[in-house]
């Protein structure tokens, strides 16, 4: 087997990123049914690429919980979260993210506060649906706000736990065909968290994150019922 050259890596990475983004869009828009088997060769033909970037993209999407890998059977689309599963996901986030907020606030730099402020401005400006292509920027800004705080906490194990949850993707999956339904609430809650960072109050930041995640949990439960 010919080893991959340094020059070829960026091209391959760009192709994998493209396939990943396209599959993410298809999954978020419900183009594949929950529990549907995903054929790597079939997707490769559909997207006019080789099987390798499809396989790599699916492996990345598995981390988000959007697809599931079954031994000897390949990948399938994950089912939509039930009300109970969404509650479990949010309970996990409630265990991790308030600690992240507290620690990140303790360590906050002007650059972090500026980046958080910028992500909120992007939330306000971003389109909100109903297709993933029209709320992708909103989702990315929302995700970035929480990632900045997780990174700012300075604990690599908490960051790994945060990244493995895929909570943002799973929640936004509920907006398929509806558009973002809770933007004003989320923006206000993010703004309250940012205010605690500016006030240099770690405890306020922790409590503001708890309040935000409880709001997301309650609104998500309603969205699950509406989808059902």
pLDDT at 227 over 60: no
Average pLDDT of 35-55? 94
User: Which three-class secondary structure string do you get for the chain?
Assistant: CCCCCCCHHHHHHHHHHHHHHHHHHHHHCCCCCCCCEECHHHHHHHHCCCHHHHHHHHHHHHHHCCEEEECCCEEEECCCCCHHHHHHHHHHHHHHHHHHHHHHHHCCCHHHHHHHHHHHHHHHHCCCCCCHHHHHHHHHHHHHHHHHHHHHCCCHHHHHHHHHHCHHHHHHHHHCCCCCCCHHHHHHHHHHHHHHHHCCCHHHHHHHHHHHHHHHHHHHHHHHHHHC
Q: What is the pLDDT of residues 49-77, one digit of tens each?
A: 999 999 999 999 988 888 999 887 899 99
pLDDT at 23 over 60: yes
pLDDT at position 3, please? 46
Q: What is the pLDDT of residues 135-159, one digit of tens each?
A: 889 999 999 999 999 999 999 999 9
pLDDT at 47 over 60: yes
């Amino acid at each position: 087997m010919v080893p991959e050259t340094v020059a070829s890596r960026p091209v391959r990475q760009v192709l994998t990123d493209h396939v990943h983004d396209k599959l993410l869009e298809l999954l978020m828009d419900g183009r594949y049914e929950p529990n549907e088997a995903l054929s790597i060769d079939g997707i490769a033909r559909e997207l006019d690429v080789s099987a390798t970037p499809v396989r790599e993209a699916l492996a990345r999407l598995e981390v988000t919980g959007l697809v599931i890998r079954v031994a000897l059977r390949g990948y399938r689309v994950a089912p939509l979260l039930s009300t109970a599963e969404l509650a479990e996901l949010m309970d996990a986030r409630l265990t991790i993210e308030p600690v992240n907020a507290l620690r990140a606030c303790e360590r906050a730099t002007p650059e972090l506060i500026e980046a958080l402020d910028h992500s909120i401005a992007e939330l306000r400006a971003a389109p909100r649906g109903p297709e993933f292509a029209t709320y992708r920027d909103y989702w990315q800004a929302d995700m970035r706000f929480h990632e900045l705080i997780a990174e700012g906490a300075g604990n690599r194990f908490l960051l790994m736990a945060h990244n493995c949850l895929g909570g943002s993707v799973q929640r936004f999956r509920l907006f398929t065909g509806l558009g973002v339904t809770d933007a004003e609430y989320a923006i206000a809650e993010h703004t309250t968290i940012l205010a605690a960072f500016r006030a240099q109050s770690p405890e306020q930041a922790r409590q503001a994150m708890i309040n935000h995640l409880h709001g997301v949990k309650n609104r998500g439960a309603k969205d699950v019922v509406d989808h059902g």
